[in-house]
Amino acid sequence: MVYKILTVIGLATFEIYAAIPAGFAFKLHPLEIFSYSLLGGLMGVFVAAYLGDIIKKWLSKFRKQKANKVAKEPGFVLKIWEKYGVIGLGLLGTMSVGAPISIGIGVGFNVPTNKMVFWCSLGVLLRCAIFTAIGYFSLQLI
């Protein structure tokens, strides 16, 4: 039983899309699946946020400043960032690509770490609740 729990938590640290089906495959109760995937997802958020901040500071020591930066048209991610901001990145990014990637993009855009952690944590909570409910009710149809 402990291995099943640790597997769901470990999978949720990186990708909740894998953790919730694994929990159902292990025949865990839906509330357990929700709880363990939430715990793992939040661990992933905190590790990515604070470890990413440390790595960014360390890498900034070795980066050289560019002399002339030619202004070109903004990319897709920058357009999304300008339109939705930190809330969109935290909620929508977490729902679509996952919290660690959203945190990485936020660190790249110099978003305050505490704001990113809050919005990504909220996104993880919503994501776990929605996908656990979808899984539970889908299995009820079978």
pLDDT tens digits, 65-79: 665 555 566 666 677
Mean pLDDT calculated for residue range 112-125 = 91
Mean pLDDT calculated for residue range 32-41 = 95
Residue 138, pLDDT > 90, answer yes
- How far separated are the first and last CA of the chain, in Å rounded? 25
Sorting pLDDT into bands at 50, 70 and 90, what band is 124? very high
Higher pLDDT, 122 or 53: 122
Sorting pLDDT into bands at 50, 70 and 90, what band is 33? very high
Residue 81, pLDDT > 80, answer no
Q: What is the mean pLDDT of the chain?
A: 86
Q: At CB < 8 A and 24+ separation, what contacts does 5-12 make?
A: 5/32, 5/36, 8/33, 8/36, 8/37, 8/40, 9/36, 9/37, 9/39, 9/40, 9/43, 10/40, 11/37, 11/40, 12/36, 12/37, 12/38, 12/39, 12/40, 12/41, 12/43, 12/44, 12/128
Structural domain including 75 reads 2-141
Residue 94, pLDDT > 90, answer no
| Number of domains the chain is built from | 1
